[in-house]
Amino acid sequence: MNIAIVGCGYLGIETASLWGKKGFHVTATTRTPERLKELSKVAQKSVILKGNDEEEFVPLITNNEAILVTTAADSPEHYESAYLHTAQIFRHLALEMDLPRDLIYTSSTSVYGDHQGRWVDESGELFGKGDQEKILIEAEKTYLSLEELGWNVCIFRLAEIYGPGREISKRVRSFSGKILPGTGDSYTNMVHRDDCAQAIFYSLRHHLTGVFNLADDDHPTRRGLYDQVAQKFGLPKTKWDPLLPSLHNGTKRISNHKIKAQGFSFHHPHRILD
């Protein structure tokens, strides 16, 4: 199978490596020329994709049976271009080309917004009210509309990704002994990068369609998680100031039961603190 990865970054590289080991031919795209050498180590083909010209997307659809879209915005100002504009390009080309494909899109659990600590599954209402969340919601709708044109669409709503190079302990160390805004009582929702890559591979192999959450089984509060890391590494505990507004928008616990019901097993169901 020929597969294209649009926006081959932290997660895309791991997915490309996994697919390459399974014998797939992977085309990886990036906006940054300096990253072509890195991508050449995990993909059979790597190309520059500026992302604002739909003609660049035509060969990706023509030459690949499956497409993974895992783009990331460089800044809040680029959200609409990175997410919604890319989705609209696929929609427009799907109408013109009549070449139904398998498409996997990585979204975010931030679309759920604040559920005041309640459990949220894929049927939960999308309370995301900020501009960024609204853009992600519209991008999801646009990709799901491709099903009307015969495409198989699978959307993963990802919790906060951690893993090699993005270890939880590194993040917490930067806060050690400092005072952070809020109470620290909001629940954490995280998922290991390797589980994301494995789930993407699993969805393609088992022809999954629809929306799935990707989050591990653990949901400690942010204060509890930071205290665990501080205890393990002998660090001063992070302090909290409830008089200051929290940096985290609301709180919820993301359910992963739907993807498990499809037979997927997480390699890292519990948080790794290294």
What type of residue is 238? T
Q: Is the distance from CB of 83 to CB of 136 less than 8 angstroms?
A: yes
Q: Which of 7, 152, 156 is nearest to 85 (CA)?
A: 7
Give the tens place of pLDDT for each residue, 162-187: 999 999 999 899 989 999 999 999 99
Q: Model pTM? A: 0.96
Model confidence over 52-111: pLDDT tens digits? 789 999 999 999 999 999 998 888 888 999 999 999 999 999 999 999 999 999 999 999
Secondary structure of residue 152 in the 3-state scheme: strand
In the block, residue with structure tokens 């039961």: 257
Is domain 2-164+190-218+253-261 classified as CATH 3.10.20.30? no
